[in-house]
Amino acid sequence: MSGSEDDLAAAWGAETDAAGSDSAPPAQAQRVLNQAEIDSLLGFDDGPAGGENRTGMQKIISSGLVSYERLPMLEIVFDRLVRIMSTSLRNFTSDNVEVGIDNILSLRFGDYLNSIPLPAMLAVFKAEEWDNYGLMVVDSAMIYSIVDVLLGGRRGTAAMRIEGRPYTTIERTLVERLIQVVLTDLAASFDPLCPVTFRFERLEVNPRFATISRLSNAAVLARLRIDMEDRGGRLELLLPYATLEPVRELLLQQFMGEKFGRDSIWETHLAEELWSTDVDLAVVLDEQVMQLSEIMALKPGSRIVLNCGPGASVQLRCGATPLFEAKVGRRKNRVAVRIEREVPRIAPADR
């Protein structure tokens, strides 16, 4: 029995080896992914669970965020930024530059910080009049493109990207110049709403050192796409809602004229109608303070003596506001008053 079992085991092992050798696929060459493909696989290019493909749990988690659509004027500000940047970057690079906006979305600051594709440069800037901070992220493709353009790279050749090394002083200096241009354009975009100055603070390469808000706080993110023929990259602007709070009322406007618009026709009509308004004037002959018991004792036939003699001054009032001092007299069998002088008005804070 043992011999036959050994023979069967040997035969079965031989068949298995033959089948395995026949079905084994040929060896394939290994492929190394670049940074852009890694970012695409990890979903960094699509934003943090954006669009309709979010799961129910993701929708519940992000349901507490304030949508940027509740600040309609902010979309107009970013649209102005795109148009202004297109002109300023053409002058800055002496190249054909096209700036477009990919999307504007709301997200938590911590979620965005964890989704920044590295390597990148993170610029922290301060809004002086609002006394708060914002964040600008320049991706590696944009960094190498702007360095290539400013240092005289030839057109028609893609910028060379070298991953895995720190940025040099020249690269940081050139990117800082780009950031200064963008911050100037961002301030010009907010000018129709309110004057604001964006001051460049520092440049970081580690997202942990660029924390300008609590990780759970909501923020508005604008993704800008900059194309310079076959070169270019992305630039992202992040403004926490705490930074926009001083101008929140202005950003709630539906259109720019809601704040600055004037209707001269309505103003003229209102001024003309005010001159035709009827106003009741009361002549106050005397004022007395009486006890409640005395008032309750009054009955038909009771007399109240007024301390107003002939030629005494009386007040003309409109409601509770004294306007003039006058003297009582008679004109054509009617009681009349003659205005002597105007009563100076007291400001509410001086009362």
What pLDDT is stored for residue 134 in this prediction?
92
Domain of 323 in residue numbering reads as 280-297+305-350
Question: Three-state SS across 37-101?
Answer: HHHHHHCCCCCCCCHHHCCHHHHHHHHHCCCHHHCHHHHHHHHHHHHHHHHHHHHHHCCCCEEEE
Instruction: Tell me, yes or no, whether 19 lies in a domain.
Output: no
Same domain flag for 221 and 116:
yes
Does position 184 have pLDDT exceeding 90, yes or no?
Answer: yes
In percent, how much of the chain has pLDDT > 90? 13
**8 A C-beta contact, residue 210 and residue 204:** yes
- The predicted-structure confidence for 39-73, as pLDDT tens digits, reads as follows 556 555 444 444 456 566 566 555 555 455 477 88
Residues 152 and 93 in one domain: yes
pLDDT at 283: 86
Q: Within this chain, do residues 72 and 207 fall inside the same structural domain, yes or no?
A: yes
In this structure, is residue 29 part of a structural domain?
A: no
Q: pLDDT at position 60, please?
A: 59
Question: Does residue 254 share a domain with residue 310?
Answer: no
Residues 213 and 162 in one domain: yes
Query: What is the pTM (predicted TM-score) of this model?
Result: 0.55
Torsion (CA) 211, 214, 215, 218 in degrees, nearest 10: -110
Q: Are residues 144 and 184 in the same domain?
A: yes
- Residues 249 and 340 reside in one and the same domain: no
pLDDT of 49 reads: 44
Q: Which residues of 68-96 are buried (b: 16+ CB within 10 A; e: fewer)?
A: beebebbbbbbebbbebbeebbeebbeee
Query: Is residue 326 one of the residues assigned to a domain?
Result: yes
Please report which confidence band the pLDDT of residue 24 belongs to, taking 50, 70 and 90 as the band edges: very low
Q: Is residue 217 part of a domain?
A: yes
Quick check: 302 pLDDT over 60? yes
Q: How many domains does the chain have?
A: 2
Tokens of 100: 């477009």
Token pair 């922290």 in the structure block, residue? 124
* Section 182-190 average pLDDT: 92
Residues 237 and 92 in one domain: yes
Residue 133 banded pLDDT, cuts 50, 70, 90: very high
215 and 314 within one domain:
no
The answer to whether residue 335 sits within a structural domain is yes
Six-digit token pair at 241? 């809602």
Lowest mean pLDDT among 42-46, 191-195, 229-233: 42-46
pLDDT, position 185: 92
Residue 334 belongs to a domain with what CATH number? 2.30.330.10
What pLDDT was estimated at residue 156? 59
Q: Is the per-residue pLDDT at 100 higher than 60?
A: yes
Pair (255, 219) in one structural domain: yes
Highest mean pLDDT, choosing among 17-26, 48-57, 315-324: 315-324
Check whether 217 has a pLDDT greater than 60. yes
Is 270 inside any structural domain? Answer: no
